């Protein structure tokens, strides 16, 4: 596990992030986030790598969410002003979990973040399933329904850039 994490950090530092990605931040409602209105999914360049991949900004709204490939996807949530959205399609109806690993900073201090999981309704709205805040591994359990899309929102209250890895759930 230690070796995998250090490799992940190296990738993240190469990719970095762009401050231009924050342009859509005001479209995210603050306060009650139990349900997001219906949105139009934006077609972005597909992730070239099957397996480990890196987030593609902008991903600050559900419509710009990056797909979680089989394996995992790396990202950096850039302080409390950034939001990173991901989605995946459930390939089976099972009880499973959505996992994220929040990395430590370069000085070895743990960094904290929040994972929030949503399900996509048939009318295109998102309903919050649950969330978890903390350091290192955080997860949300859910009952996946085959064929349905699920959305993962990554945020942090830290003023630092928090690197993380979102795992493709076990189905």
Binding positions for Ca ion, rule: CB under 5 A? 21, 59-60, 82, 84
Q: How far is the CB of 59 from Ca ion (least distance, A)?
A: 5
Measuring CA to CA, which residue among 150, 149, 152, 130 is closest to residue 141?
130
3-state secondary structure of 169: coil
Measuring CA to CA, which residue among 156, 110, 94 is closest to residue 131?
156
Q: How far apart are CA 41 and CA 79, in angstroms?
A: 25
Q: How far is the CB of 1 from Ca ion (least distance, A)?
A: 26
Q: How far is the CB of 84 from Ca ion (least distance, A)?
A: 4
Task: Give whichever of 84 and 138 is closer to Ca ion, judged by the CB atom.
Answer: 84
Q: How far apart are CA 82 and CA 147, in angstroms?
A: 29
């Amino acid at each position: 596990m230690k070796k995998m994490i250090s490799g992940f950090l190296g990738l993240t530092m190469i990719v970095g992030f762009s401050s231009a990605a924050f342009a859509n931040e005001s479209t995210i409602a603050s306060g009650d986030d139990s349900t997001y209105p219906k949105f139009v999914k934006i077609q972005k360049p597909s992730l070239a790598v099957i397996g480990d991949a890196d987030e593609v900004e902008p991903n600050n709204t559900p419509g710009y969410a990056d797909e979680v490939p089989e394996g995992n996807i790396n990202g950096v949530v850039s302080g409390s002003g950034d939001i990173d959205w991901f989605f995946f399609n459930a390939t089976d109806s099972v009880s499973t979990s959505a996992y994220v690993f929040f990395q430590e900073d370069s000085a070895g201090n743990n960094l904290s973040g929040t994972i929030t999981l949503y399900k996509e309704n048939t009318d295109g709205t998102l309903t919050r399933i649950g969330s978890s805040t903390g350091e290192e591994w955080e997860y949300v359990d859910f009952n996946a329904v085959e064929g349905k899309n699920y959305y993962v929102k990554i945020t942090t209250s830290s003023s630092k850039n928090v690197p993380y890895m979102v795992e493709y759930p076990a189905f």
